[in-house]
């Protein structure tokens, strides 16, 4: 990192050596450039701006240097200016810089101003570094979340950790089986690798380049551990295995999500220390959370893809056998149903328990009826302090494809709300749209012809203050109060769909609630349902039904909805997944 530069144009009457001493003491580590002529200072200033110097302070004598200071601050707005005077009575109107008189106790005043300037400069630099880290972390999160190929995700995690720590090599180690103390190395990368290298998984104790005692400690402690040869008093550097490794520094980064150890990134360098800059340690501390979420997500994808692959092969074998023996048809159907029920258990496990929402809203109901055993409709719920976040989504597709979409949506909502602490509905949908698009690879031309996406209604409820915030992408909110209904319309945006230009923003609606209000969130399955005559139920009829039953107990409303659906559909086939969620404000 370049040193901050001070450009000082000093007249011959000023004590240059005394000023140099004061500047060196107060502006620690700054690069001082003194000039006797204004044109020399101007020339260095222009050269420094072109070369990207970190110029943060201009000094000049007054009154002759007033124009130089004004011009310098105008040319380089991020820098500060300071005028030096030997006249106690000098008056300059509307200056953008402080003026210090060097007569009497002037050097004490100069020190005071320099300390204030340097403190503001340091605070600004810390803020800029923090923003850079957060921006980079956001980019990394999108990159990791959008990668579902386990081999490439492991490589990305290792390369990001290597690049941001200065390591020579890195290993990814996971519990095997999950939640056990047995560890297995599943990936390896070196600085300079551009693609995953073959590395057959093996027990961690079989890898000679790993400090196993330190690895076991990191597994139990679940915190970042950094050891370097320079720590002569460390117990680790005096361990008998340290000399055998032939390394200078080691860094262990446990990847933990919701208290569960997902994996450990193990980094090392043979001849130099890792984490040369403080920003590297800060970034890696934050990096472990999205890495853990992405790794768990990819493992889930890999498991489900393997299950689907196995079941597909099974169906093919059964189909061939059915062609020879029709008696095996029943077995084939049972196997397909078993596969769908397994997918249903996986999908239901991802949904938040309905009992948690009912603890906050005892008067609530859920009418959930997928067209197949699994579907693309889902609900999501979380609570932080007094705020409750509830979402109802309708993903593209039915069955297994729709279920895959709901898993992506649930994972992204957990990351945005629970990990990153974003609670405003419009901001949640904005980030969800970006990350869903990245996850579906709609940025790439070859995938833009696919139309996967999601419609969603999302609310933030504060039951104590009776406040509600709503944002919607294609799905409205309906509020029933004293048998009268109010529709809040959504933005006509599909989450994850391709778009041109800047990412669209979502409208945020503020609603004041009253006790006994009923809030309804729903997919389009009920309103699009066809009866025996081929007519749709329609949104208007559903709103009228909500107004009719809103005063009934929530459980009774759910039963009435089911009866109304059965009356309408008759002998017709269900056309779409159906999900309706209703909550009463206490």
For the chain, which domains are there? 4-128 (3.40.50.2300), 146-299 (3.30.450.40), 352-584 (3.60.40.10)
DSSP 8-state secondary structure symbol assigned to residue 419: I
Please state, in angstroms and rounded to a whole number, the distance separating the CA atoms of residues 481 and 286.
45
Q: How far apart, in Å, are the Cα atoms of 238 and each of 219, 228, 230, 242, 333?
A: 20, 11, 11, 7, 63
| pLDDT, position 507 | 96
How many angstroms separate the CA atoms of 574 and 577, rounded?
8
pLDDT of residue 93: 56
Question: Scanning the structure block, which residue is given the tokens 């009923």?
Answer: 518
C-alpha 148, offset from chain centre: 16
**Which residues lie closer than 8 Å to 422 by C-beta, 6 or more apart?**
416, 428, 431
Counting as low any pLDDT under 50, the low residues of the chain are 443-450
Give the CB-side neighbour count of residue 446, counting CA atoms within 13 A. 0
Please give the pLDDT value at position 446: 42
Q: What are the tokens at 38?
A: 């204004």
Percent of the chain past pLDDT 70, that is, above it, reads 91
Predicted confidence at residue 526, as pLDDT, reads 96
Packing angle of the helix pair 106-145, 150-163 (nearest 10 deg): 170
Determine the Cα–Cα distance for residues 368 and 477; give it in Å rounded to an integer: 17
Do residues 475 and 528 make contact, with C-beta atoms less than 8 angstroms apart? no
Q: What is the pLDDT of residue 449?
A: 45
Could you say which DSSP state residue 488 is in?
Answer: E
Residue 18's alpha-carbon distances to 21, 110, 166, in angstroms, are 5, 11, 41
Nearest-CA neighbor of 274 among 256, 255, 303, 253? 253
Q: Kindly report, residue by residue over 218-250, the tens digit of the pLDDT.
A: 888 888 888 988 887 788 888 888 888 889 999
**Nearest residue to 426 (alpha-carbon basis) of 416, 441, 439:** 416
Q: Report CA-CA distances (Å) from 573 to 419, 539, 564.
A: 41, 19, 15
Distance of CA 216 to the CA centre of its chain: 29
CA distance 208 to 229: 19
pLDDT of residue 553: 96
Distance CA 91, CA 168 (A): 60
**Calculated CA dihedral for residues 123, 126, 131, 136, nearest 10 degrees:** 170
Alpha carbon distance 314, 334 (integer Å): 12
Q: What is the pLDDT of residue 445?
A: 45
* pLDDT score for 105: 64
């Amino acid at each position: 990192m370049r040193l901050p530069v001070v450009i000082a144009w000093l007249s011959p009457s000023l004590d240059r050596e005394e000023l140099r001493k004061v500047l060196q003491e107060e502006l620690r580590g700054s690069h001082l450039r003194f000039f006797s002529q204004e044109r020399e200072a101007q020339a260095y200033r222009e050269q420094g701006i072109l070369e990207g110097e970190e110029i943060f302070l201009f000094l000049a004598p007054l009154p002759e240097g007033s124009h130089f200071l004004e011009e310098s601050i105008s040319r380089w707005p991020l820098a500060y200016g300071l005028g030096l005077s030997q006249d106690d009575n000098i008056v300059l109107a509307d200056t953008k810089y402080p003026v210090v008189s060097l007569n009497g106790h002037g050097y004490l005043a100069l020190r005071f101003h320099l300390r204030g300037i340097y403190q503001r400069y340091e605070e600004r630099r810390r803020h800029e570094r923090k923003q850079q880290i957060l921006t980079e972390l956001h980019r990394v999160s999108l990159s990791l979340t959008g990668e579902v190929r386990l081999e490439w995700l492991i490589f990305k995690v290792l390369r990001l950790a290597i690049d941001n720590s200065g390591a020579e090599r890195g290993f990814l180690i996971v519990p095997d089986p999950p939640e056990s103390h047995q560890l297995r190395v599943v990936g390896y990368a070196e600085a300079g690798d551009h693609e995953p290298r073959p590395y057959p998984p093996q027990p961690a104790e079989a890898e000679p380049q790993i400090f196993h005692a330190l690895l076991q400690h990191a597994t139990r402690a679940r915190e970042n551990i950094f050891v370097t040869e320079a720590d002569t008093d460390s117990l680790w550097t005096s361990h008998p295995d340290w000399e055998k490794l032939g390394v200078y520094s080691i860094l262990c980064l446990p990847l933990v999500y919701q208290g569960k150890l997902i994996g450990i990134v193990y980094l090392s360098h043979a001849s130099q220390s890792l984490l040369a800059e403080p920003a590297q340690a800060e970034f890696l501390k934050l990096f472990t959370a999205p890495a853990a979420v992405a790794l768990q997500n990819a493992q889930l994808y890999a498991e489900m893809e393997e299950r689907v692959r196995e079941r597909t092969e099974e169906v093919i074998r059964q189909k061939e056998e059915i062609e020879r023996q029709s008696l095996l048809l029943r077995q084939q159907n049972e196997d397909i149903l078993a596969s769908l029920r397994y997918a249903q258990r996986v999908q239901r496990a991802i949904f938040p328990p309905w009992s948690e929402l009912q603890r906050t809203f005892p008067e609530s109901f859920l009418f959930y009826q997928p067209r197949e055993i699994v579907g693309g409709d889902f609900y999501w719920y979380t609570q932080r302090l007094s705020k409750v976040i509830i979402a109802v989504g309708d993903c593209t597709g039915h069955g297994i494809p729709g279920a895959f979409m709901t898993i992506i949506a649930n994972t992204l909502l957990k990351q945005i709300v629970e990990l990153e602490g974003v609670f405003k509905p419009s901001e949640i949908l904005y980030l969800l749209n970006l990350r869903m698009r990245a996850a579906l690879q709609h940025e790439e031309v070859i995938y833009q012809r696919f139309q996967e996406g999601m419609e969603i209604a999302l609310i933030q409820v504060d039951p104590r203050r009776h406040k509600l915030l709503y944002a919607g992408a294609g799905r409205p909110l309906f509020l029933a109060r004293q048998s009268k209904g109010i529709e809040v319309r959504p933005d006509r945006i599909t989450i994850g769909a391709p778009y041109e230009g800047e990412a669209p923003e979502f409208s945020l609606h503020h609603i004041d609630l009253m006790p006994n209000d009923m809030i309804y969130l729903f997919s389009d399955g009920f309103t699009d349902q066809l009866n025996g005559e081929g007519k749709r139920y329609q949104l208007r009829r559903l709103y009228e039904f909500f107004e009719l039953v809103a005063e009934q107990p929530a459980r009774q409303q759910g039963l009435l909805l089911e009866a109304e659906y059965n009356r309408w559909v008759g002998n017709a086939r269900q056309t779409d997944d159906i999900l309706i969620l209703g909550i009463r404000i206490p």
